[in-house]
A and B are shown apart, each in its own frame.
Chain A
Amino acid sequence: MTTLTKAPEDALPPEGRRSWLKEHSELGLCALLAVLGILVLTDALTMDDHFAQRGPVGPQAVPTVVGIALLLVAALLTADVLRGGKGEAETGEDVDLDTPAEWRTVLMLAGVFLGNAVLIGIVGFPISGALLFWGAAYVLGSRNLTRDPLIAAALSLATYVVFNNLLGVPLPGGPLMGVL
């Protein structure tokens, strides 16, 4: 249906097994669903019986159903993929499916977000937030080294002031809080 799975390996030498996997990368999703199903089932079955339960339906019932359904859907989806079915990748105004996917950009963007999650507790919101904005803009192709950091810093600081000072929603201020 779409060409995007084929595109990246144009540069690769034709290698049967590998391109088969590329072609059927959706099997990874099936595996994920199956793992999720096993996880949910294990969690449900290792639960203790509970005092407050009345009647046939306890805290395990719904997770058990969901877990089994996940395994079932994983199996059906696998069958569908092996028969040549393929999910249609989502289109959108900013999405160009004709170009090969740039997974490096995605990884970097996710990395920037992860960095923010790790840093926010250490260096405070204004710094981690500014790095998040600047980093994300950089990864997405903005290369103005004068304007970008200034915008990032101003946005982050303004957000901090609005939340922390005006609204009273506390955000961590950074290493110099209480020092100055």
Chain B
Amino acid sequence: MRPRTPLALAVAALLVLLGPPLLTSGSGEATGTQIPGLQFMVPNSPGGGYDITARTAAKNIEDEDLNNNVEVYNLDGAGGTVGLTALINDRGNEKLAMSMGLGVVGAQRTNDTDSRLSQTTPIARLTEEPDIVVVPKNSKYKTFNQLLKDWKARPGKMPVGGGSSPGGPDHLAPMLMAREAGITPKDVNYVPFDGGGELLASILGGKVAFGVSGVGEYLDQIKSGDLRVLAVTSPKPHPGLDAPTLKETGLDVEFTNWRGIVAPPGLSDADRDRLIKLFDRLHDSAAWRESLKKNGWTDAYMTGAKFGDFLDAQDKRVVSVLKELDL
């Protein structure tokens, strides 16, 4: 062994040991809303709904100097439950928050996991979005009730297209409608599609009898007249959409998809309040209002314990639907 060898080994060891901490900022004390090294975890893939929410929020937070730097990363898998499990395992990490929504509520039930949203620290609900019932422009259905009549008569022959797997928002909405209309949810012919692209093509091409989707995704196709909206699922009519609510058509169903933020379990009250305060300030900012408008999101701000109760209620609703389907 040459004398240089031990030296080389020492240098190599120092490099890999000391390099990362010295090159990475992220330590330091939190002051005000500033949380150095704050990270947003996105439990689905780049370009998905939670991803856009998290990246928009992070950008606005940085723009408004609420926090110097927010790192967004994706941990995709099993409808969000992989991310959820990672979040729950990162107990007490006050520099982490996860974007999530109704889809994760369903996924935690349909996937074989013990991770529950009730274990997390609820921070805030940010936005909500109703689902819409759409048909292509050449469909024979002009009103929701015409559609409902046929749907009731032969549910098997009326394939319903949706962008989420069983248990997800686009699946829950038609199931709730069916239940209220007296159709056995098990008879509903729900056809899941991978994301919005293939679904849109199938609706436009008349492959499915009707589609159920978030209102934001197909605004342009609706405006151009390629798609016709028969109903929205929200309690109030959606601004800019010439379509009745389900209630107005006589079907007593209200359904809105929503997105929010949760943090790992085991946070101190001070840490939790700091995160809530950060989102309070974000919610009050002009940049966020601008983002809401750009993305066509409806503000549905709600924080802390109230949001926690809301999560519980949503979970119960999802469970009740899935039970009827034996899922």
Contacts and interface: CB of A to CB of B under 8 A. Distances in A.
Are A and B direct contacts in the complex by CB distance below 8 Å?
A: yes
Interface of A: 51-52, 54, 124, 126-127, 130, 145-147, 149-150, 152-154, 156-157, 160-161, 164-165, 168-170, 173-180
Given A126-B19, A127-B17, A165 B24 contact: yes
Interface string B39-51: 1000000000000
Contacts of A153: 11-13, 15-16
A161 B8 CA distance: 21
A144 to B, nearest CB: 9
A178 B27 contact: yes
A174 B8 contact: no
B201 interface: no
Candidate in B9, B17, B186 with the most chain A CB atoms within 10 angstroms: B17
Nearest to A151: B12
B22 interface: yes
B11 A179 contact: no
Given A54-B189, A124-B20, A170 B73 contact: yes
Main SS of the interface on chain B?
Answer: helix
Given A149-B12, A152-B12, A153-B13, A173 B1 contact: no
B19 A177 contact: no
Contact of A145 (B5, B22, B71): B5
Nearest 8 interchain pairs by C-beta: A173-B20, A153-B12, A126-B16, A149-B12, A180-B21, A153-B15, A146-B8, A157-B19
A150 B166 contact: no
Contacts of A175: 17
A173 B233 CA distance: 47
A51 to B, nearest CB: 5
Contacts of B72: 168
A161 B21 CA distance: 11
Interface string B1-37: 1101100110111011111111110010000000000
B190 A52 contact: yes
B27 A156 contact: no
B156 interface: yes
Contact of B71 (A150, A157, A170, A174): A170
29 contacts: A51-B325, A52-B166, A54-B156, A54-B189, A126-B15, A126-B17, A126-B19, A127-B17, A130-B12, A145-B1, A145-B2, A145-B5, A146-B5, A149-B8, A150-B8, A150-B11, A153-B16, A157-B16, A157-B19, A161-B19, A165-B23, A165-B24, A174-B20, A175-B17, A176-B20, A177-B21, A178-B27, A180-B21, A180-B27
Given A146-B2, A169-B73, A178-B27, A164 B20 contact: yes
A126 B27 contact: no
A174 B20 CA distance: 7
Interface residues of B, number: 32
Given A130-B12, A174-B17, A164 B73 contact: no
B112 to A, nearest CB: 12
Interface of B: 1-2, 4-5, 8-9, 11-13, 15-24, 27, 39, 71-73, 156, 166, 186, 189-190, 325-327
Nearest to B188: A52
Candidate in A52, A54, A124, A179 with the most chain B CB atoms within 10 angstroms: A52
Contacts of A147: 8
Contacts of A126: 15-17, 19-20
B1 A156 contact: no
A106 to B, nearest CB: 26
A179 B20 CA distance: 11
Contacts of B22: 180
Given A51-B186, A176-B21, A168 B15 contact: no
A71 B316 CA distance: 45
Candidate in B1, B11, B21, B186 with the most chain A CB atoms within 10 angstroms: B21
